[in-house]
Chains A and B, each alone.
Chain A
Amino acid sequence: MKKGVLLFCFDTPDSQYHKILEKCVALIKKNLKLEVTVVTNFETYKHLKPLGFVNYKFIEPELGNKKNGLEWRNVDRHMAYELSPYDVTLVMDIDYFPFTDNLRQFLDTRYDFLISKNAYDMTNRNSFDTRRFSMIDMVWATVFVFRKGKKAKRVFDMIKYAKQYYTYFMDMYRVRDRRFRNDYAFAIALEQANGMIAYDTLPITLPTLPPDCKVLKMDDEGIAWQYNDQVNYTKDQDVHVLNKEVANV
């Protein structure tokens, strides 16, 4: 059974995501020791330094989504099922840095689709624990695992449907955030595909550095960041970095 990691990476006029990808791929190779496939476009690919053995799939990203007024090329994740060359696939955001091998084991389960509902703020401010207005739990599409088969295909078909009628579903589930977010598209699809009841999840809480944290240093063991005038660090712990300036560290 073929197992591997699928990553999506598209530079924008404002962010050099390819530099983040380079850091992420190095950590995947060191810690997860899995084959990697990168979904990208030629514009991004031509800036990449040699990354060793990596598969590339070229697509043109769907444009139009924005975050804080800036272009946000995040809309193509619904195609992970078709684009993955693996039987079991780990899909990760490229700004999720695997400093451990913790995720590796989730490719060895019998589950068809696993995703996490929880993240925590590494600065201890609980900034992701805000009041919930929506009628469904949000999931974090930052990290998920799927096994190709009828069940996973149904989930991805439903994600496509949720994407197509995104505004309708946002209203129906009272989601206030109007941008397209994979987190909500996936949450809606899983809710719908599972008969509006609970579904299987990854029992992990994603360690996340909020966007107002500046990454000062990053090596192959860990990361140091600054929040206000405080500097903290962690090592041997996976980290999801939301500040895209990590590209330049």
Chain B
Amino acid sequence: MDIGELKKQSDISYDIAVAKRNALEKAHARLVVVYNEHIFRADAETINLVKTLGEAHTSPLYVLDTNNNPVEISEPEEFLKTLVARNQEAISSYHQMSKTFAKRGD
């Protein structure tokens, strides 16, 4: 491999790393959701918690928001639906973007 080709590959790797980081941060930003006047992250932990509590406990549920304040959730199913919708919106956008990384890295 000549030095020109090496530089080219290095530049492509840098571009992919920057694009991946930004796409991931974009997804993280989109995961933040306001529900019932409180802020939550629609991440795996919150979704699993709400689903588990919903199955094992009668409503209302009590969960912590991103500032560790307790929140009463009177309609867990609606809350779970909101979390899942936001999670999949963010992650599917990241998935679409990741396809372009793979293309550029070929």
Contacts and interface: CB of A to CB of B under 8 A. Distances in A.
B14 A109 contact: no
Interface residues of A, number: 26
Interface in B25-45: 25-26, 28-30, 32-34, 37-39, 41
A109 B37 contact: yes
A234 B26 contact: yes
A124 B93 CA distance: 20
Interface of B: 11, 14-15, 17-19, 21-22, 25-26, 28-30, 32-34, 37-39, 41, 66-67, 69, 93
A237 interface: yes
Given A102-B32, A203-B66, A237 B37 contact: no
| Interface residue SS majority, chain A | loop
A131 interface: no
A201 B67 CA distance: 7
Contact of B33 (A105, A110, A202): A105
A204 B34 contact: no
B34 A108 contact: yes
8 contacts: A102-B32, A105-B34, A106-B34, A111-B39, A123-B18, A202-B39, A203-B41, A207-B25
A111 B21 CA distance: 30
Contact of A120 (B15, B19, B25, B37): B25
B14 A230 contact: yes
Contacts of A201: 67
A203 B22 CA distance: 17
Contact of A124 (B17, B32, B41, B69): B17
A139 to B, nearest CB: 14
